[in-house]
Structure formats: structure tokens, C-alpha cells
């Protein structure tokens, strides 16, 4: 890494598949660098202390909390943020199912959930409900009660396995009385 008297550090890294470089105050966290120096505000700023999971990004494919990760440590690494999840204007299947099933309500936790779920499905294309719960145990959601999030991950997993599935009617409309 290069450090100059102007108190900015310059790093090179891969951001959402593209070679990038950015200069920033060296004590900044990756969260601050992404939001303030790169203008990528999809990564959300939550508790700042590692207690909520909304600032999750992928480093070399693995979920980490960008609020507790120095920007300097991103040097030479591959960083994936929520902005890099859609490809060529086409939403990732998880983004589709989160929208279809109402798994995003206020939406503040959604970028973190999507990135963690993306890594889960890459490692395990057919996770059980328990495995999904465990994988998402580091992300808090205060709106959904999590059920819709689990259902959205299950539906996306099925679609990614190539199965022709529609969401259960009651997942969208609730139970008829």
C-alpha cells in the first residue's frame, strides 16, 4: 500500500469484478470507504459494532462485516457489495425472490441478507431450513420475522437448481380464512 504525507492511503483491489483504486484516510473502515469515498451506499451503516450484519460485504467470496474491516485490508482482495449482485442488468435469483415474497420490508437489512445467502447457495445449493437459519444468524431483521426471508432463500435455491417452482400461494397472500 502507498501512504503519503497527505494522510491518504491508496489501495488497488477488485470491486464488483472491476479493477479499482481508491484513496482514503488510512484509519477508515471498508464501510466508510465504500460509502464515502466510492459513493456506493448500497452497503448499509447499522450498529457500527458488529452486532447487526447489515454492512456485510464479500471479501474473496466470504461474508465479513465492513464496519470492522479496515479499508487498508481490502488491498489486492476481491470485494463484492450489493451493487455487484445483479449481472448485466439482470437481478440475481435471490433478489427476485426477495422481491416476490416480501422478504424485504423496510429494506435496511436486505443487502446483508442477500450477500450472505448468495455465499450460502454457492457453497450449498440445497440447504435445509436449519442450514439457512444458521447461515443467516449473523443478520438482524426487525420487520419480517425472518420467515419470508427463509422462504425467499429456499425459492431462489430451487430456481437456481433449475426447478420450475412457483412460490406457495399462502407465502404471498397469506392463509385464506
Partner 1 sequence: MMRLPKFTYRVPKIVSDAVSMIGDAGADAMFVAGGTDLYPNMKRRQQTPKTVVSVTRLRELHEIRGDASTGMSIGSSVSLTEICEHSVINRDYPFVADAARLISTPILRNMGTIGGNLLLDTRCNYYDQNYEWRKGINFCMKKDGDICWVAPSSPKCWAVQSSDLVPLMVAIGAKVKLVSASGERMLEARDLYNNDGIQYLNKRPDELLTEIHLPPRNGLRAVYKKLRRRGSFDFPVLGVAAAIDVAPDGTVREAKLILGGVSPAPIEVSEAQQALIGSPLDVERISEAAEACYLKARPLDNTDYVMGWRKQMARPFVQRALEELRRQL
CB of 16 vs partner 1, minimal distance in Å: 19
Residue among 51 and 166 whose Cβ is closer to partner 1:
51
User: CA–CA separation, 64 vs 113, rounded Å?
Assistant: 12
Residue among 61 and 168 whose Cβ is closer to partner 1:
61
Contact 116, 138 (CB under 8 A): yes
User: CA–CA separation, 94 vs 127, rounded Å?
Assistant: 14
Residue among 143 and 167 whose Cβ is closer to partner 1:
143
DSSP SS3 for 106: coil
User: CA–CA separation, 63 vs 69, rounded Å?
Assistant: 11
The contact set with partner 1 (CB under 8 A) reads 25-29, 32, 45, 48-51, 53, 56, 62-65, 68-70, 72-73, 116, 134-135, 137-139
The residue assigned the cell 462485516 is 65
Q: What is the DSSP letter of 87?
A: B
The residue assigned the cell 483491489 is 13
CB of 32 vs partner 1, minimal distance in Å: 7
CB of 27 vs partner 1, minimal distance in Å: 5
CB of 54 vs partner 1, minimal distance in Å: 11
Residue among 26 and 102 whose Cβ is closer to partner 1:
26
Residue among 68 and 147 whose Cβ is closer to partner 1:
68
User: CA–CA separation, 92 vs 83, rounded Å?
Assistant: 11
Contact 28, 71 (CB under 8 A): yes
CB of 45 vs partner 1, minimal distance in Å: 7
Amino acid at each position: 500500500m502507498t501512504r503519503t504525507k497527505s494522510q491518504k492511503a491508496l489501495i488497488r483491489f477488485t470491486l464488483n469484478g472491476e479493477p479499482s483504486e481508491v484513496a482514503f484516510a488510512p484509519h477508515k473502515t471498508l464501510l466508510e470507504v465504500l460509502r464515502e469515498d466510492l459513493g456506493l451506499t448500497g452497503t448499509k451503516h447499522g450498529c457500527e459494532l458488529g452486532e447487526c450484519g447489515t454492512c456485510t460485504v464479500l471479501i474473496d467470496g466470504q461474508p465479513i462485516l465492513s464496519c470492522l474491516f479496515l479499508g487498508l485490508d481490502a488491498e489486492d482482495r476481491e470485494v463484492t457489495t450489493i451493487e455487484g449482485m445483479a449481472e448485466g442488468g439482470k437481478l440475481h435469483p435471490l433478489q427476485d425472490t426477495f422481491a416476490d415474497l416480501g422478504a424485504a420490508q423496510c429494506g435496511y437489512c436486505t443487502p446483508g441478507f442477500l450477500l450472505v445467502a448468495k455465499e450460502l447457495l454457492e457453497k450449498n445449493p440445497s440447504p435445509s431450513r436449519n442450514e439457512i437459519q444458521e447461515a443467516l444468524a449473523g443478520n438482524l431483521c426487525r420487520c419480517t420475522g425472518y420467515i419470508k426471508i427463509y422462504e425467499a432463500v429456499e425459492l431462489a435455491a430451487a430456481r437456481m437448481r433449475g426447478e420450475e417452482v412457483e412460490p406457495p400461494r399462502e407465502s404471498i397472500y397469506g392463509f385464506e380464512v
